[in-house]
């Protein structure tokens, strides 16, 4: 592939590279009494070595013949000695603390803080999906070190939470024991992959030295009125004995265990995140984050402008009572179309106005509604249910009496917990009104003049109609929706019926869990008055007591209530008897600010040193899963802004750039349809009206046909092929330990980056890793030489101290430019393709200059650090290459190596030739003389002179005499 093709095709594709073949010959090397092994040997003698001792190319596999049983088995022949190299360099890095970021750094140098969303250390350990993001951040960390940056690249553990507590309940093992065991396993697995973390900065949210500062932040929030207690409806799971967050409840049951969840009021600690709603929204615009994440946060915050309007409740005689229901609406212009009110089942005024006749029905309905999660109640596709309260309210705009309903699609936590329902102009209201035969009145006419469609609601804007009342003094007929909205708000404020209001969907953060395994909340309650008293800062950390019984109390009290001697305490100031708070913080607490502690992890005096925070903030690159796009990132931003307000941090935002890596899916699973008779039916012929069942088809019975998968035995049967997220329940988890054992850590790292674009989801294919493993083997043999007959390699390299040729410099610098550009753009797969192109080119050279190969080894090192360190050592260097300068591309070598040179005969263009840029006149004329077309003009002619402008033109002036062509 020439340079031009590289430009247009963005380097070779993974498939092209992995499928390319080198001429091979097969020799039998040795025999064993049970096995006969064959290997492939490259026919081409790259460095003039004897072909007998020269193993090169790609060793795809060894064919093993089992003589006794006559079976064929496939064994993996190591393409290079990764099993020796990788442990060696991992020990070296650990012994020399190669990647340690000193506590005191040269602050005149630029910094780069690259961070992974730290993991929860589960008992299952890592699967191959986890290292995807970790490998990417490691490549960037290594790259930035080589560019002269001070790099902060730490790792820690988000280790409090419900899974460890549930495991403790099931097994009787203290969660601290299982947590530490899981951390040890995760750490060992991460180290086996060669990630360049600064392990001296390792932290865990379960360490008292760490959560002392989580508790300190809580006290600062409490001191400034941003932490408070209130009785609120919560997701209570009796089986788990704890409050669950909305995201931990799916279809009315707990995500973990599938236990029923009910809504019940409990006194809880709450953080006032809504106080920061405007800033959380406005500051999104300045962030270098994916637009999808920013939009999710905007929707979650849900800022809207509208009005609060009061509807007086009527008695049986139609007279106004002293009760008014306040509604929030974003469409005040539709007030004349309000034909009923809806209050949430948990509305605080409900019991004060519900009629006696309807009280039982309302109570029954409340019980049903409060068993649903907020998400279930507000989902658009869910059927809306409700019950009449038996009472009416007055629409202040027209004086009409309208019924008050209790419905589950209105939440007590949003707005005022009540809405004015306008079924003609709101889809949910229309569905509810249609179900319960409530009238609808059109008050907005579309601007396009379309007629009112009684079959659905019109929720758009337009011209107001049917909206005038002399008694109320409000007339908005003929106005646009925007004009009418403003006029209704002015009227409401003037008449005392309401006011302008900005509202948010964002709710204050429920910050308590009825669990044991979490950060204790540093508050006590006086026995005599129940007054809450925050602990003094010098009393921190408040540590968890040792408990043997973590099971739910059954009373709603948290498990910590069982630690009687710990719960009973004394207020140090008043010396009065008190009891400790027995709820703990949610798992989110420790992960809100951990990135700050990595800057200064052992400081016992302050959360983070001001000078260190000012230098390292903000995090330059934060990589993690899209599932944390809202809650974790929003909570972190809230805490960071609060810490900014109190002078702890110097930036308004914690994370400068956020990237979500794609998901690695398990291998493709093929399924076939069968009819009721048990016959296979092709997937493209399936009629959804008939009855079929699906059957999983083993991989060995499947083959690819075009873009589809079919049965090998019957290619007419097209199969369904799907890949799923890796999970133990599906049995599609691939353990990275197994991959490392068979192919090495560098191969795993390289494959995860080579599978496709970093941000895209992709499917794991075990055969794909063999291709990148062969590439590493080729790279190794290019530098080290062929293996000896026993499979081992000589020390040193075949690289020589020789000045590189122009062609070699061009190949190298094009590779440097592409790899640099693609690392900076997180397009790692095409960066690997560039290195594959280089290796292809290098195999054609007659010699291997040391300066060229040293630069290539540095390019390879962020991706395959173990191999690169070993090659660097063999090239004669005694120190790690971790801080060697990353090569820079020389623009002079990036230009095209050839140009098209027009050739004129006696001043008239007769053709063109392709020449090396800057070639000599004689060389250019020689090519012209050999050109089939041009030679007709030159044969038998003598040349008077040649006019040559390098890179522009060659003009040959012929002598009129008929003489034989010769060089001047």
Domain CATH number, residue 480 = 3.90.740.10
Q: Which residue would you say has higher pLDDT here, 671 or 201? A: 201
Q: How far apart are CA 109 and CA 405, in angstroms?
A: 66
Kindly report the CATH number assigned to the domain that includes residue 869.
Answer: 1.10.730.10
Which whole-number Å values give the CA distances from 168 to 157, 174, 223, in the listed order? 18, 6, 35
pLDDT value for 43? 29
Q: Quick one: tokens of 93?
A: 């890095």
Dihedral pair phi/psi, residue 304, rounded to 5°: -145, 150
- The single residue listed with the structure tokens 């004394």 is 570
**Burial class of residue 498 (count of CB atoms within 10 Å of its CB; 0-12, 13-18, 19+):** buried
Q: Quick one: tokens of 542?
A: 């408040």
pLDDT value for 724? 64
Q: Which residue would you say has higher pLDDT here, 16 or 910? A: 910
Shared domain for 269 and 380, answered yes or no, is no
CA-nearest of 413, 392, 267 to 347 is 413
pLDDT band at 674 (very low <50, low <70, confident <90, very high): confident
Which residue stretches of 347-480 are H helix? 350-353, 359-369, 374-378, 427-435
Shared domain for 343 and 472, answered yes or no, is yes
Lowest-pLDDT choice from 369-383, 501-515, 688-702: 369-383
Residues linked to residue 229 through DSSP beta bridges, in sequence order: 269
Dihedral pair phi/psi, residue 163, rounded to 5°: -55, -45
Quote the radius of gyration of the chain (alpha carbons, Å). 37
Shared domain for 835 and 933, answered yes or no, is no
Contacts of 185 (CB under 8 A, 6+ apart): 121, 125
Q: How far apart are CA 800 and CA 783, in angstroms?
A: 10
CA-nearest of 668, 676, 725 to 702 is 668
Q: How far apart are CA 450 and CA 452, in angstroms?
A: 7
pLDDT value for 30? 32
Q: Are strands 401-407 and 340-343 parallel, antiparallel or unpaired?
A: parallel
Assess if residue 289 is contained within a domain: yes
Lowest-pLDDT choice from 313-322, 476-485, 596-605, 754-763: 754-763
Domain with 358, as residue range(s), is 303-504
Instruction: Tell me what the pLDDT averaged over the chain comes to.
Output: 86
Assess if residue 340 is contained within a domain: yes
Shared domain for 433 and 478, answered yes or no, is yes
Q: How far apart are CA 584 and CA 79, in angstroms?
A: 53
Q: How far apart are CA 787 and CA 319, in angstroms?
A: 100
DSSP letter (8 states) at residue 938: H
**Domains contained in the chain, number:** 5
Shared domain for 801 and 814, answered yes or no, is yes
- Report whether 755 contacts 715 (CB < 8 A): no
Assess if residue 361 is contained within a domain: yes
pLDDT by residue (tens digit) across 248-298? 777 778 877 888 888 778 889 999 999 999 999 999 999 999 999 999 999
Shared domain for 340 and 471, answered yes or no, is yes
pLDDT value for 451? 62
Which whole-number Å values give the CA distances from 612 to 106, 363, 603, 645, 959, in the listed order? 11, 58, 11, 18, 81
pLDDT band at 899 (very low <50, low <70, confident <90, very high): confident
Residue ending a domain, among 504, 539, 560, is 504
Shared domain for 811 and 859, answered yes or no, is yes
Q: Which residue would you say has higher pLDDT here, 623 or 74? A: 623
Torsion of CA 163, 168, 174, 177, to 10 degrees: -50
pLDDT by residue (tens digit) across 807-861? 899 999 999 999 999 999 999 999 999 999 999 999 999 999 999 999 999 999 9
- Report whether 581 contacts 521 (CB < 8 A): yes
Helix axes 865-874, 766-784, angle to 10 degrees: 10
Q: How far apart are CA 771 and CA 766, in angstroms?
A: 10
Residue ending a domain, among 676, 702, 730, is 730
Shared domain for 570 and 530, answered yes or no, is yes
Residue ending a domain, among 475, 504, 533, is 504
Assess if residue 453 is contained within a domain: yes
- Give the HSE-up count for residue 299: Cα atoms under 13 Å, Cβ half-sphere: 8
Shared domain for 405 and 459, answered yes or no, is yes
Q: Which residue would you say has higher pLDDT here, 124 or 108? A: 108
Helix axes 766-784, 850-860, angle to 10 degrees: 150
pLDDT value for 415? 81
Assess if residue 145 is contained within a domain: no
pLDDT value for 498? 96
Assess if residue 27 is contained within a domain: no
Shared domain for 725 and 835, answered yes or no, is no
Mean pLDDT (whole number) for 868-880: 96
Q: How far apart are CA 560 and CA 552, in angstroms?
A: 10
Q: How far apart are CA 133 and CA 544, in angstroms?
A: 33
pLDDT band at 351 (very low <50, low <70, confident <90, very high): very high
Assess if residue 613 is contained within a domain: no
Lowest-pLDDT choice from 159-173, 364-378, 696-710: 364-378
Kindly report the CATH number assigned to the domain that includes residue 567.
Answer: 3.40.50.620
Mean pLDDT (whole number) for 699-716: 85
Mean pLDDT (whole number) for 788-808: 91
Shared domain for 887 and 905, answered yes or no, is no
Q: Which residue would you say has higher pLDDT here, 389 or 76? A: 389
Percent of the chain with pLDDT over 70: 87
Q: Which residue would you say has higher pLDDT here, 939 or 732? A: 939
Residue 200 has pLDDT above 60, yes or no: yes
pLDDT value for 414? 76
**Burial class of residue 363 (count of CB atoms within 10 Å of its CB; 0-12, 13-18, 19+):** middle
The residue ranges of DSSP E strands in 490-546, in sequence order, are: 498-504, 509-510, 523-526, 532-534
pLDDT by residue (tens digit) across 935-967? 888 887 889 899 999 989 999 999 875 444 433
- Give the HSE-up count for residue 861: Cα atoms under 13 Å, Cβ half-sphere: 29
Kindly report the CATH number assigned to the domain that includes residue 910.
Answer: 3.10.20.590
pLDDT value for 33? 29
pLDDT value for 690? 62
CA-nearest of 853, 836, 865 to 772 is 836
Residue 167 has pLDDT above 90, yes or no: no
Dihedral pair phi/psi, residue 659, rounded to 5°: -130, 135
Q: How far apart are CA 375 and CA 250, in angstroms?
A: 9
Shared domain for 355 and 418, answered yes or no, is yes
**Burial class of residue 442 (count of CB atoms within 10 Å of its CB; 0-12, 13-18, 19+):** buried
Mean pLDDT (whole number) for 724-750: 81
pLDDT value for 204? 97
pLDDT band at 453 (very low <50, low <70, confident <90, very high): low
pLDDT band at 26 (very low <50, low <70, confident <90, very high): very low
pLDDT value for 3? 36
Q: How far apart are CA 622 and CA 134, in angstroms?
A: 11
pLDDT value for 50? 30
Planar angle of CA 865, 870, 873, nearest 5 degrees? 125
Q: Are strands 62-66 and 72-75 parallel, antiparallel or unpaired?
A: antiparallel
Assess if residue 345 is contained within a domain: yes
Highest mean pLDDT among 11-15, 164-168, 723-727, 866-870: 866-870
- Report whether 268 contacts 512 (CB < 8 A): yes
Mean pLDDT (whole number) for 666-679: 80
pLDDT value for 704? 81
pLDDT value for 768? 84
Residues linked to residue 498 through DSSP beta bridges, in sequence order: 309
Q: Quick one: tokens of 380?
A: 């658009």
Q: How far apart are CA 828 and CA 366, in angstroms?
A: 55
pLDDT by residue (tens digit) across 569-625? 999 999 999 999 999 999 899 999 999 999 999 999 999 999 999 999 999 999 998
The three-class DSSP label of residue 684 is helix
pLDDT value for 376? 67
pLDDT value for 743? 94
């Amino acid at each position: 592939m020439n340079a031009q093709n590289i430009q247009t095709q963005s380097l070779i594709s993974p498939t092209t590279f992995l499928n390319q073949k080198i001429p091979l010959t097969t020799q039998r090397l040795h025999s064993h009494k049970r096995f006969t092994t064959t290997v492939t040997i490259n026919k081409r003698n790259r460095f003039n070595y004897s072909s007998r001792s020269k193993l090169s190319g790609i060793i795809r596999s060894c064919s093993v013949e089992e003589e006794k049983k006559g079976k064929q088995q496939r064994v993996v022949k190591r393409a290079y000695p990764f099993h020796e190299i990788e442990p060696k360099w991992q020990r070296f890095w650990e012994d020399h603390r190669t990647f340690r970021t000193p506590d005191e750094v040269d602050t005149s140098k630029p910094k780069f803080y690259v961070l992974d969303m730290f993991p929860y250390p589960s008992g299952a350990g890592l699967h191959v999906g986890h290292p995807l993001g970790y490998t990417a951040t490691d490549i960037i960390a290594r790259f930035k070190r080589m560019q002269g940056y001070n790099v902060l690249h730490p790792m820690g553990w988000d280790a409090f939470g419900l899974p460890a507590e549930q495991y403790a309940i099931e097994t009787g093992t203290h969660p601290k024991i299982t947590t530490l065991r899981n951390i040890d396993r995760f750490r060992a697995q991460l180290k086996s992959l060669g990630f360049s973390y600064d392990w001296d900065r390792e932290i865990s949210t379960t360490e008292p030295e760490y959560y002392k500062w989580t508790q300190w932040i809580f006290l600062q929030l409490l001191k400034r009125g941003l932490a408070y207690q209130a009785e609120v409806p919560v997701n209570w799971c009796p089986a788990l004995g704890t409050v669950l967050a909305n995201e931990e409840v799916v279809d009315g049951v707990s995500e973990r265990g599938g236990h029923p969840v009910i809504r019940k009021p409990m006194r809880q600690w709450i953080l006032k995140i809504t106080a920061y709603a405007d800033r959380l929204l406005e500051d999104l615009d300045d962030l270098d984050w994916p637009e999808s994440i920013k939009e999710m946060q905007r929707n979650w915050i849900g800022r809207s402008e509208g009005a609060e309007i009061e509807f007086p409740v009527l008695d049986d005689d139609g007279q106004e009572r002293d009760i008014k229901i306040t509604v929030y609406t974003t469409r005040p212009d539709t007030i004349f179309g309000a034909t009923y009110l809806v209050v949430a089942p948990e509305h605080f005024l409900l019991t004060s106005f519900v009629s006696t006749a309807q009280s039982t029905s309302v109570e029954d309905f409340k019980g049903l509604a409060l068993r649903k999660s907020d998400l279930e109640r507000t989902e658009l596709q869910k059927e809306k249910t409700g019950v009449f309260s038996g009472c009416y309210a007055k629409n202040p705009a027209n004086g009409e009496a309208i019924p008050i309903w209790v419905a589950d699609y209105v939440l007590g936590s949003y707005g005022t917990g009540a809405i004015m329902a306008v079924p003609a102009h709101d889809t949910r209201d229309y569905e509810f009104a249609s179900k319960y035969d409530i009238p609808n009145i059109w008050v907005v006419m579309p601007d396009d003049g379309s007629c009112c469609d009684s079959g659905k609601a019109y929720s758009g804007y337009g011209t107001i109609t049917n909206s005038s009342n002399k008694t109320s003094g409000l007339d908005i007929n003929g106005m646009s929706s925007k004009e009418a909205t403003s006029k209704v708000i002015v009227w409401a404020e003037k008449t005392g019926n309401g006011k302008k209001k900005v509202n948010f969907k964002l709710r204050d953060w429920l910050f308590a869990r009825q669990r044991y395994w979490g950060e204790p909340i540093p508050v006590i309650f006086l026995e005599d008055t129940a007054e809450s008293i925050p602990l003094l800062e010098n009393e921190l950390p408040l540590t968890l007591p040792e408990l043997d019984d973590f099971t739910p109390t059954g009373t709603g009290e948290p498990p910590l209530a069982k630690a009687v001697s710990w719960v009973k305490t004394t207020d140090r100031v008043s010396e009065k008897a008190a009891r400790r708070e027995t709820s703990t913080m949610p798992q989110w607490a420790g992960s809100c600010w951990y990135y700050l502690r990595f800057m200064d992890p052992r400081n016992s005096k302050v959360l983070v040193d001001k000078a260190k925070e000012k230098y390292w903030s903000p995090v330059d690159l934060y990589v993690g899963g899209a599932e944390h796009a809202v809650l974790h990132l929003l909570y972190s931003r809230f805490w960071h802004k609060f810490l900014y307000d109190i002078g702890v941090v110097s930036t308004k935002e914690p994370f400068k750039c956020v990237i979500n890596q794609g998901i690695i899916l398990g291998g493709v699973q093929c399924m076939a349809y069968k009819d009721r008779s048990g016959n296979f039916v092709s997937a493209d012929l399936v009629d959804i009206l008939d009855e079929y069942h699906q059957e999983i088809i083993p991989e060995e019975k499947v083959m690819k046909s075009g873009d589809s998968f079919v049965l090998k035995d019957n290619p007419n049967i097209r199969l369904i092929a799907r890949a799923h997220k890796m999970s133990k329940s599906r049995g599609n988890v691939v353990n990275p330990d197994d991959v490392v054992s068979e192919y090495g850590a560098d191969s795993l790292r390289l494959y995860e980056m080579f599978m496709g674009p970093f941000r895209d989801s992709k499917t794991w294919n075990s055969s794909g890793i063999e291709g990148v493993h062969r590439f590493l083997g080729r790279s190794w043999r290019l530098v080290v030489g062929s293996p000896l007959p026993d499979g081992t390699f000589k020390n040193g390299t075949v690289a020589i101290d020789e000045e590189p040729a122009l062609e070699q410099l061009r190949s190298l610098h094009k590779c440097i430019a592409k790899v640099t550009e693609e690392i900076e753009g997180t397009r790692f797969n095409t960066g690997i393709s560039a290195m594959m192109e280089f290796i292809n080119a290098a195999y054609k050279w007659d010699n291997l200059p040391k300066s060229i190969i040293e630069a290539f080894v540095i390019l390879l090192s962020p991706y395959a650090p173990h191999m690169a360190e070993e090659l660097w050592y063999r090239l004669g260097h005694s120190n790690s290459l971790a801080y060697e300068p990353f090569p820079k591309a020389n623009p002079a070598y990036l230009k095209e190596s050839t140009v098209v040179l027009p050739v004129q005969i006696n001043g008239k263009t007769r053709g063109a030739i392709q020449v090396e840029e800057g070639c000599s006149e004689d060389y250019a004329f020689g090519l012209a003389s050999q050109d089939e077309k041009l030679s007709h003009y030159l044969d038998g002619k003598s040349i008077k002179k040649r006019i040559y402008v390098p890179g522009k033109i060659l003009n040959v002036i012929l002598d009129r005499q008929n003489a034989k062509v010769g060089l001047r």
